């Protein structure tokens, strides 16, 4: 079993692609994925940030890049959400999920990128069955992420400790899935 650690943020479309690619690897039964939910932008207000103007254009550009990157494997369909979520509470809820983390990870990404939900809203997290909190674990993940050289989401840490960030991490996940299909 190959163990990968992935740091990702639910409000990052590139992390949504990493999540979909992680699911492909999990489906093979040969990979163990330790997903660690983090906030890549801790300056987002507690209630989230309305997506307007330049931010709308920035997210649309990022989504276009993710859609292009996903065309040969997982084929994601994402939409610009109306709110950029502060994902601190969602990360703590994810940390509390235990054995149900993979399902919740998928659900939280879909909530943002397919349904336009605001993960900053505690009532929304309740509706998504993400009401628990493990602030200690979420805080530890955030500290680990911040301590990485050039912390970028997604970040993939291979079993040998090699760190692959951003587009490189996404390419690494795609290459692992491709190699597994050819094996």
Question: What is the overall mean pLDDT for the chain?
Answer: 95
Domain residues for 71?
A: 2-182
pTM of the model: 0.96
Please state the domain count of the chain: 1
> Which residue intervals of 53-165 are DSSP H helices?
53-70, 88-96, 101-113, 122-127, 135-147
| Other C-beta atoms lying within 10 Å of the C-beta of residue 123 | 9
Query: Does position 91 have pLDDT exceeding 70, yes or no?
Result: yes
CATH at residue 147: 3.40.30.10
Asked if residues 93 and 132 have their Cβ atoms less than 8 Å apart, the reply is yes
Question: pLDDT tens digits, residue range 3-46?
Answer: 999 999 999 999 999 999 999 999 999 999 999 999 999 999 99
């Amino acid at each position: 079993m190959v163990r990968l650690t992935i740091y990702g943020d639910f409000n990052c479309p590139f992390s949504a692609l990493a999540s979909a690619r992680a699911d492909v690897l999990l489906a093979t039964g040969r990979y163990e994925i330790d997903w660690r939910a983090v906030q890549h932008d801790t300056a987002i207000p507690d209630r989230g940030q309305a997506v307007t103007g330049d931010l709308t254009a920035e997210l649309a550009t990022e989504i276009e890049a993710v859609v292009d990157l996903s065309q040969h494997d997982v084929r994601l369909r994402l939409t610009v959400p109306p709110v950029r979520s502060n994902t601190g509470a969602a990360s703590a809820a994810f940390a509390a999920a235990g054995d149900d983390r993979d399902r919740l990870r998928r659900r939280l990404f879909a909530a943002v990128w397919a349904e336009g939900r605001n993960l900053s809203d505690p009532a929304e997290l309740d509706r998504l069955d993400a009401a628990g909190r493990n602030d200690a674990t979420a805080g530890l993940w955030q500290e680990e992420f911040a301590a990485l050289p050039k912390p970028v989401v997604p970040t993939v840490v291979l079993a040998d400790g090699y760190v692959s960030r951003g587009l490189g991490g996404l390419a690494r996940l795609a290459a692992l899935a491709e190699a597994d299909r050819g094996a």
